[in-house]
Amino acid sequence: MLHQAWRDVIFVHWRFDRAVVGARLPAALTVDEFDGSAWVSLVAFLVRDTRPAWGPAVPFVSDFTETNLRTYVVGPDGRDGLWFFTLETDSLVTVLGARVIGVPYRWADMVARRDGAELVYGSRRRATSSSPMHLTSVDTTGADDAVDARTHWLTGRWRAWTRVGRRFATVPVEHQPWALRSSALVSHEDSLLAEAGLPASTAPSLVHTSGGVDARLGWPQPVGRAGRLGR
């Protein structure tokens, strides 16, 4: 469906109790665990050169900034994947296009800048001054990280689950293996976790950065009836 380049990526990962995350999922999805815990990740990055599989990139439309807050789930067909609590972007075209196929993007004011070794991302949803937001600053001077089993589990996901009408669907994703660097959180202000119904946390379990990958996203593939959201 789409080709994209994802650049200057930050991953901030929190460990949570399974029951806490499970209570925020649709009934047909279950928590995917690692080391006996559920995990939630904030991922922020630059999207570059977005283009449909059959055509070129479009000036002023193909480049934008994105933040998503996600967790790790097993779907009704037994396959693992991602469930997004929110996807925020400064591209109104992306918001409108994604919502047509059932992917719940939200339009936000975004900040993205690099100051030497420091990489900074921020967003505030376009609504009121109390809209959910985050401002995250990461020091990227850490060492290149060996992709151990936990890191691969957190970053090597090849489908996302979404809801299209009253059905679930998966969106397949392909990209190269991540080249990751262990990084340090300089500062983090966040209300996205609270907005998702999760306990606020200032101490993530793991932080990574990456120069990025080139990605291909497929069309949503219906799986079954979604039923109601929540438990």
14 lies in a domain? yes
201 lies in a domain? yes
| Structure confidence at residue 202 (pLDDT) | 66
231 lies in a domain? no
216 lies in a domain? yes
* Dihedral angle, C-alpha 187, 111, 134, 32, nearest 10 °: -100
Q: What gap in Å lies between CA 194 and CA 132, rounded to an integer?
A: 8
Q: What gap in Å lies between CA 164 and CA 76, rounded to an integer?
A: 15
Strand 221-225 relative to strand 180-182, pairing:
unpaired
pLDDT tens for the 231 residues of the chain, in order: 899 999 999 999 999 999 999 999 998 999 999 999 999 999 999 999 999 888 877 777 899 999 999 999 999 999 999 999 999 999 999 999 888 877 889 999 999 999 999 999 999 999 777 799 999 999 999 888 778 999 999 999 999 999 887 788 999 999 999 999 999 999 999 999 999 999 887 688 999 999 999 999 998 898 865 444 333
7 lies in a domain? yes
Structural tokens at position 85: 């609590």
From 106, 86, 87, select the one nearest 96 (Cα to Cα).
106
Q: What gap in Å lies between CA 24 and CA 54, rounded to an integer?
A: 37
132 lies in a domain? yes
Indicate the residue type of 126: R
Residue spans of beta strands (DSSP E) within 97-229: 105-115, 118-125, 133-139, 159-164, 167-175, 180-182, 184-190, 206-217, 221-225
* Dihedral angle, C-alpha 49, 189, 207, 163, nearest 10 °: -60
| Structure confidence at residue 225 (pLDDT) | 55
Q: How many domains does the chain have?
A: 1
| Structure confidence at residue 224 (pLDDT) | 62
230 lies in a domain? no
CATH number for 83: 2.40.400.10
| Structure confidence at residue 227 (pLDDT) | 41
Q: What gap in Å lies between CA 215 and CA 172, rounded to an integer?
A: 10
Q: Which residues span the domain enclosing 198?
A: 2-225
164 lies in a domain? yes
| Structure confidence at residue 123 (pLDDT) | 95
